[in-house]
Amino acid sequence: MAYTYMWEYQVRPDREPDFLRDYGPDGAWVTLFRRAEGYVSTHLYRDRDDPLRFVTVDTWESEPTHQEFRLRFAAEFAKLDQACEALTIRETPLGRFDRIGNSGPA
């Protein structure tokens, strides 16, 4: 069963290009995630009404594969997280989810 977690970000207006670079499809976060077994995908969404509000949706094969990633890459994760902290006004976890079925391409 796929494991997904979601975060909401309110980006600093002057840091939007940096945020898109680091959180985008070929950004620093995805580059780090791809080093781990069990990583499936990351999707970045921009709010149509608030262009500085974004949501990331990260999917792993399972929660244990994500937990293994967090253990194995803890130092790199912490370093990147600290570097990206200046890009946002607020970061809010939206939750952790299990996918139930699939009605189309993953």
pTM of the complete model: 0.89
Sign of CA dihedral 42, 40, 28, 77: positive
pLDDT-based confidence at residue 27 (cuts at 50, 70, 90):
very high
Mean pLDDT rounded to a whole number for the chain: 94
Sheet holding 53-60, edge to edge: 39-46, 53-60, 3-11, 88-98
Q: What is the pLDDT of residues 55-91, one digit of tens each?
A: 999 999 999 999 999 999 999 999 999 999 999 999 9
Is residue 38 within 8 A of residue 70, CB to CB? The reply is: no
Q: Which two tokens stand for residue 98?
A: 């299990």
CB 87 within 8 A of CB 18: yes
Q: What pLDDT score does 100 carry?
A: 76
Domains and CATH numbers, the chain: 3-97 (3.30.70.100)
Residue 10 confidence (pLDDT): 98
Residue 85: strand, helix, or coil: helix
